[in-house]
Homo-oligomer: A and B are copies of this chain.
Amino acid sequence: MEPVSAAVSAVLPAGGSGERLGGATPKQFCGLQGRPLVSYAVRAMERVSWISDIIVVVSPENIETMKSIIEKYGHKRVTVVKGGITRHRSIFNGLKVFAENQSSNRLLQKPEVVIIHDAVRPFVEEDILLKVVMAAKEHGAAGAIRPLVSTVIASGEDGCLDHSLERARYRASEMPQAFLFDIIYQAYQQCTDHDLDYGTECLHLALKYCKTNAKLVEGTADLWKVTYKRDLYAAESIIKDSLSQQICIITDVKEAVVQAGFLLHESLKNQVKDKEYATEEIQKLVDMLEKSNVPLLYPVVLILVHLNISENISFSIGLEELTKIKKFAREVKKKNILVYGLLIQYKDHFPLQETVNSAAALTMALIKDRNPELIGQLLVA
């Protein structure tokens, strides 16, 4: 997907103070599965190959934080720019980097089309980015919209209802938006201090100063802006949901337990790692994962499945062994890998399908929850 050979870059204002969220950390730096929200938005841009440069605009006190996030998560094509005291001033600062071509270390090419997107909308897809870019090429400006959830009303000076708007006639203006660079830059150059200090809407500036009526593009619900604490909860759940679709389990079953392994396969529709606690092998796997950089972006769940095929009814687990696993898990957690143990009992007198179902349910629960407090525990299927 390459949008008709236009040079496209993006500006992400990330200078907000997050006062609506409550709490000291601005929301763009709040951790979701241990990783700051802004990193998700940057990743969403960066994985789109036809976006050349990504400008992240942050308030002066967060420049170092942002630079360390870029380094830690290995983000590419990102330039950090100092923001202004309002959203519009920050975006303007971001655009200036292209126009004035004086970014400290490298030259940034002025794009034909510039995307503006919020750092606190982590789930933007290539599809909608492409749509707004194409529409901006044609119309000069474009932005994602959504239906209104609540009726919008105007209040009078007495704090009473003045009038309400007919919900169907209006839309919520969301992000991403895209503009021909020259149009939005000209709009920012011409606009007043009042616009810069009190305005919130880039589409409005393009209309007011460049007579450009932005094309409105229907977006999906997941474009919503993380604003309140509940939105962080929602974002975390969405990430967990999507992560739990990504399972890679490794099998190396012994002859005797092939049946259990097979059923577990069926239940998990996937493969299962059932090595015993062979510390060496686990360590190797951990090293591989670490090298892959995957655990940097998301916590990886590693489940050590132990198959107990002993017929001895009074089989028991030594606490010493458990303590060893816990210690190992604690070490590995520093690398963002979550290790859990799962014991599956395979005995002739046991109802196998039930055990296998229980193992599958426990595995799914561990993968879904990624609970860091439960690492190193041995669960029994």
* A contacts, CB < 8 Å to B: 20, 139, 141, 143, 145-146, 148-156, 158-165, 167-174, 198, 200-201, 203-204, 207, 213-216, 221-222, 224-225, 227-231, 233-238, 308, 313-320, 322-323, 326, 345, 361-362, 364-365, 369, 371, 373-374, 377-380
Contacts of A318 in B (CB 8 A): 314-316
In the complex, the answer to whether A149 meets B326 with C-beta atoms within 8 Å is no
Across the interface, A238 reaches (CB within 8 A) one of B207, B214, B230, B374, namely: B230
Nearest CB on B from A147, distance (A): 8
Across the interface, A150 reaches (CB within 8 A) one of B169, B174, B308, namely: B174
In the complex, the answer to whether A171 meets B155 with C-beta atoms within 8 Å is yes
With A and B bound together, what is the CA distance between A149 and B315 in angstroms? 59
In the complex, the answer to whether B213 meets A221 with C-beta atoms within 8 Å is no
Across the interface, A316 reaches (CB within 8 A) one of B146, B216, B231, B319, namely: B319
With A and B bound together, what is the CA distance between A316 and B149 in angstroms? 57
With A and B bound together, what is the CA distance between A174 and B236 in angstroms? 25
In the complex, the answer to whether A161 meets B203 with C-beta atoms within 8 Å is yes
Among residues of B, the one whose C-beta sits closest to the C-beta of A316 is B316
Across the interface, A221 reaches (CB within 8 A) one of B165, B215, B228, namely: B228
With A and B bound together, what is the CA distance between A246 and B204 in angstroms? 48
Q: Is the interface of A mostly helix, strand, loop or mixed?
A: mixed
With A and B bound together, what is the CA distance between A153 and B214 in angstroms? 11
Tell me whether A162 and B319 are in contact in the complex, defined as CB-CB below 8 angstroms, given that A173-B152, A200-B151, A225-B149 are known contacts.
Answer: no
11 more contacts with CB within 8 A, not counting A161-B216, A371-B371, A377-B379, are: A145-B153, A151-B204, A152-B165, A161-B203, A161-B214, A167-B200, A224-B228, A230-B231, A233-B238, A314-B320, A365-B374
In the complex, which of the residues A167, A314, A374 has the most CB atoms of chain B within 10 Å of its own CB atom?
A374
In the complex, the answer to whether A230 meets B225 with C-beta atoms within 8 Å is no
Tell me whether A159 and B380 are in contact in the complex, defined as CB-CB below 8 angstroms, given that A152-B173, A153-B170 are known contacts.
Answer: no
In the complex, which of the residues A153, A162, A322 has the most CB atoms of chain B within 10 Å of its own CB atom?
A153
In the complex, the answer to whether A151 meets B201 with C-beta atoms within 8 Å is yes
Contacts of A216 in B (CB 8 A): 153, 155, 159-161
In the complex, the answer to whether A171 meets B200 with C-beta atoms within 8 Å is no
Among residues of B, the one whose C-beta sits closest to the C-beta of A221 is B228
Across the interface, A320 reaches (CB within 8 A) one of B308, B313, B320, B371, namely: B313
Contacts of A198 in B (CB 8 A): 168
In the complex, the answer to whether A361 meets B373 with C-beta atoms within 8 Å is yes
With A and B bound together, what is the CA distance between A170 and B320 in angstroms? 64
In the complex, the answer to whether B380 meets A380 with C-beta atoms within 8 Å is no
Nearest CB on B from A99, distance (A): 24
With A and B bound together, what is the CA distance between A229 and B241 in angstroms? 12
Contacts of A172 in B (CB 8 A): 149-153
Among residues of B, the one whose C-beta sits closest to the C-beta of A322 is B380
With A and B bound together, what is the CA distance between A143 and B314 in angstroms? 66
